[in-house]
Amino acid sequence: MNTIEYFKERFDLLQSVHKDSGLDIIRQKAFNTFNKMGIPTTRHEEWKYTRISGLFNKEYQFPVTQTATSLSQKDLDAVRLPGHEQASELFFINGLFSFPLSVVRSEALVVMPLEEAAKNEYKDIVSKNFGHSSNYLKDGINALNTAFVQGAVFIHVKKGQIPEHPIYIYNITDARSGNILSQPRSLMHISENAQVQIVETYTTIGLEESFTNQVMEIIVEKDARVEYYKIQNDASHTNQVSTTHIRQVGKSYTHTVTISLDGGIVRNNLNVVLDAEYCEAHLYGLYFQQGQSHIDNHTVVDNVKPNCFSNELYKGIIDDNATGVFNGKIFVQPQAQKTNAYQSNKNVLLSDTASVNSKPQLEIFANDVKCSHGCTVGRLNEEGLFYLQSRGISEKIARSLLLHAFAVDILEHIKPEPIRKYVDKLISERLEFDIT
Amino acid sequence: MLTIHNLHAGIEGKEILNGINLEIKPGEVHAIMGPNGSGKSTLASVLAGRKDFEVTEGSVEFFGKDLLGMPPEKRAGEGLFLAFQYPVEIPGLSTTNFIKTAVNEIRKYRGEEPMDALAFLKLMKEQMAMMDIDQSLLSRSLNEGFSGGEKKRNEIFQMAMLKPKLAILDETDSGLDIDAIRIVANGVNKLRSKDNAVLVVTHYQRLLDYIIPDFVHVLYNGRIVRSGSKKLALELEEKGYDFIKNEIDVSEEVNQ
């Protein structure tokens, strides 16, 4: 059976099982789009350097209904992040949100199935915002997620409230008995004057392949503040397309840090839509890839309204045969005067066979703006290396110190301390030298 | 301690050092002076093991060992230290972590246990006070945003922490005002003993008012063309390098 036929079969099954969710019409529309567009090939401008079509030649199990997990407590504990005792912990298993496993530890949060939110008091929020990312991601991959939306979650941070501890979101794929396709979906609504920290990770358990096609949409209201941290360190037999679509609909502040340390093919879409005056957005990223892994960060900052500020810094270290892609778009719409938008991408290549494609893209339609972008690709600073070696530090450790120093720039933007230390430790392990 | 014999070295096929001979014994202070482009900094770099330079002839022994065959970190382990003319800025690496790593790597090389945290902190504070370095510098990234004077003081501070047997100061006085020169010189003098030696590479005589040399060598066209006592430095200061240049150029014409 070819891929499209297989998806058709699964889709029909899903539609017959979940008839009255209120989402079936949205799914049907998205499935039509998917049928029309198919899986993006490298002929698609946005997928020029990232080839995912090959991933769909494999057979995946693709759960469309919730079943009890066979993961043990030990499996789950291995996935948990430091600080989890206080955090609100949300679990997706094979792309479906798991209420039995998830624990909400803050009164400031409301967590419910998206199907429910689509019908109750939150239905306006859902109808206005769900699927907004498809305006920016015109490809079959985004449509594929929406076509199968089910087991999705709606997360609401109440007006004026601040959960004391972060929300940890664990995306777990159980690939012990076959290749798994996971499609987690969530919609987050950060109310007026609320604040929240979100940390998200991806873990595949088992040795079969996994492909995760995730979409998270976040709406940020006036005077709200959001920190979002994505940590990707899954095994090399796992692949993912991870979309985070942030829409700031009132004067608000967002801060995202994307850390990508491992995985087979990893594609991140981070969109930040500045849809109100005086919004501020900070986008940071660090990718440190080795082996055969491929990391692609596509970012969009869309200045829709005037007087917004955005700052973006992505840094990459690429070793072995790994490849990196950075594509950073900044749109300044005609009415978005007085925009300040900055972007920078810096890369260090550690081997002759490592490569990176960096593409800044500014599309400015207003005339009174300040925008800048820059990208560098280079090798490790030889002068710095000699300086450290001249102080008795071996070349290997000197390299580690310099690479760690390169990464610190991004690490220091991870504000929750246990998470910062955790990521720092992952990097120190990779560098085989712990500076602390 | 250090024996340089007929050292020839250059960069990209261009010869800069044309047969240097120099012997430094424990307890001695040597100054190498010379006009711009004479090869002073090249000599310092070659001794410390900078990769850019290629040694084409000659030898350097450090306590009887072949120095030129060692990577830079081994040279440091053996007790050689270069205070850089242009200390490198490394954003993201704190001065404390850098020094701690260096101290313990050198101890490891010498077969010693790593220094315990308290002793390290105490030593660091003492040496910082000596070099008049503000404590806040330690948590800052190595040399990042340091003023010229702070960078040079930081070099001597590192030297004090690493306790080398031979310290090479490469134009440490350049860009420093007189107060900073005094602090730097004072730091160097405090570290002097009968067991260690200092090689001061400088364009000007003024640093030598504070670090009194036992021997002064004049480098010109990659060779030591004259050696003498500290008086030679004063003579150079008074007459300028031209008098040496003229003398040498004339004698070379005669020889040809």
pLDDT at B256 over 70: no
Token pair in block for residue B10: 């250059």
| DSSP structure string for A352-406 | TT-EEEEEEEEEE--SS-EEEEEEEEE---HHHHHHHHTTT--HHHHHHHHHHHH
Nearest to B97 among A384, A386, A435 (CB): A435
- Whether B2 has a pLDDT exceeding 70, the answer reads yes
| Cβ pair A102, A94 in contact under 8 A | no
Partner residue facing A389 (CB), from B72, B97, B162: B72
CA distance A389 to chain B (A): 5
| Number of folded domains that form chain B | 1
Cβ–Cβ gap A401/B101 under 8 Å: yes
Calculate how close chain A gets to B224, using CA atoms only, in Å: 25
Res A4 pLDDT > 80: no
Domain range enclosing B222: 2-88+164-255
Cβ-proximal residues to B42 (8 Å cutoff; 6+ apart), any chain: B9, B11, B16, B17, B53, B222
- Candidates A379, A383, A388, A399, partner chain B, best to mutate (most B CBs within 10 A): A388
- Is residue B108 scored above 60 in pLDDT? yes
Which CATH number does the domain housing residue B78 bear? 3.40.50.300
Helices (H) and strands (E) in chain B, counts: 9, 12
Q: Which residues of B touch A405 (CB under 8 A)?
A: 90-93, 141
Query: Does the pLDDT at position A1 exceed 70?
Result: no
Nearest to A110 by CA among A174, A46, A186, A53: A186
Confidence category of residue B246, pLDDT binned at 50, 70, 90: confident
Please tell me the distance from the alpha carbon of residue B191 to that of residue B208, in angstroms, as a whole number.
Answer: 16
What confidence score (pLDDT) does residue A32 get?
A: 94
Q: With contact defined as beta carbons under 8 Å apart, do B226 and B208 qualify?
A: no
For position A59, what pLDDT does the model report? 83
Q: Which of A364, A309, A389 is nearest to A341 (CA)?
A: A309
Averaged pLDDT for residues A68-95: 93
Q: Please indicate, yes or no, if residue B93 is contained in any of the structural domains.
A: no
| B101 shares contact with chain A (CB less than 8 Å) | yes
User: Band of the pLDDT at A57, cuts 50, 70, 90?
Assistant: confident
Per mean pLDDT, which of A155-159, A204-208, B94-98 is the most reliable?
A155-159
Instruction: Specify the pairing of strand A167-174 against strand A185-190.
Output: unpaired
CA angle B88, B94, B95 (to 5 degrees): 65
pLDDT in tens, A386-411: 999 999 999 999 999 999 999 999 99
Nearest alpha carbon to residue A263 among A183, A348, A204, A213: A204
Asked whether residue B154 is domain-assigned, the answer is no
| Confidence class for position A20, pLDDT limits 50, 70, 90 | low
pLDDT classification of B158: cutoffs 50, 70, 90: very high
* Number of Cβ pairs < 8 A linking chain A and chain B: 83
pLDDT interval class at B251 (50, 70, 90): low
pLDDT grade, residue A55 (50/70/90)?
A: confident
For chain B, report the end-to-end CA distance as a whole number of angstroms. Answer: 36
pLDDT-derived band at A117 (thresholds 50, 70, 90) equals very high
Specify the higher pLDDT residue, A236 or A3: A236
Of B126 and B254, the one with more pLDDT: B126
Q: Looking at chain B, which residue has its C-alpha nearest residue A408? A: B92
pLDDT at A421 over 90: yes
B76 touches chain A (CB under 8 A): yes
What interface predicted TM-score (ipTM) does this complex get? 0.95
pLDDT averaged over every residue in chain B:
91
Give the whole-angstrom CA distance, residue A228 versus residue A232.
13
Q: Is B115 on the interface with A (CB under 8 A)?
A: no
Domain contains B173: yes
Residues B111 and B102: their CA atoms lie apart, in Å, by 14
Q: Is residue B225 part of a domain?
A: yes
Return d(Cα B102, Cα A387) in angstroms, integer. 11
Whether B162 and A392 lie within 8 Å, measured CB to CB:
yes
pLDDT of residue B138: 82
The answer to whether residue B112 is domain-embedded is no
Contact A389 B71 (CB under 8 A): yes
- Assess contact for B95 and B138: CB atoms under 8 A: yes
CA distance A342 to A252: 18
The model's confidence at residue A352, banded by pLDDT at 50, 70 and 90, is: very high
Nearest to B73 among A383, A395, A404 (CB): A395
Residue B237 inside a domain? The answer is yes
Chain B residues whose beta carbon lies within 8 Å of the beta carbon of residue A397: 101, 105
Evaluate whether B216 touches B233 at the Cβ level (below 8 Å).
yes
Residue A106: enclosing H or E segment and its boundaries? none
- Given a cut of 80, is residue A177 above it in pLDDT? yes
pLDDT (mean) for B42-48: 95
> What's the confidence (pLDDT) of residue A287?
98
pLDDT at B254: 59
What's the pLDDT tens digit per position in A286-323?
A: 999 999 999 999 999 999 999 999 999 999 999 999 99
Average pLDDT over chain A, rounded to an integer: 94
Distance from CA of A432 to the nearest CA of B (A): 14
Residue B7, pLDDT > 90, answer yes
- Domain annotation covers residue B249: yes
Chain B residues close to A390, C-beta within 8 Å? 48-49, 72-73, 75-76, 81-82, 84
Above 80 in pLDDT, residue A66?
no
Provide mean pLDDT across the span B24-33: 95
Q: Which of residues B13 and A347 earns the better pLDDT score?
A: A347
Which CA distances in Å does A414 have to A41, A232, A280, A283? Answer: 34, 14, 17, 11
pLDDT tens, A242-301? Answer: 999 999 999 999 999 999 999 999 999 999 999 999 999 999 999 999 999 999 999 999
pLDDT at B130: 84
Of B48, B73, B82, the CB nearest to A393: B73
* Rounded distance between C-alpha atoms, residue A175 and residue A70, angstroms: 11
Percentage of residues in chain A having pLDDT higher than 70: 98
Residue A313 burial (CB count, 10 A): 18
Residues of chain B with pLDDT > 90, as a percent, come to 66
Provide the pLDDT for residue A363: 96
Say whether A201 sits in a helix, a strand or coil.
Answer: strand
B-chain residues within 8 Å CB-CB of A389?
49, 71-73, 76
The residue among A346, A385, A386, A390 with the most chain B CBs within 10 A of its CB, best to mutate, is A390
CB contact under 8 A, B51 and A398: no
Query: Is residue B135 in some structural domain?
Result: no
Would you say residue A58 has pLDDT above 60?
A: yes
Candidate from B76, B81, B90 with C-beta closest to A405: B90
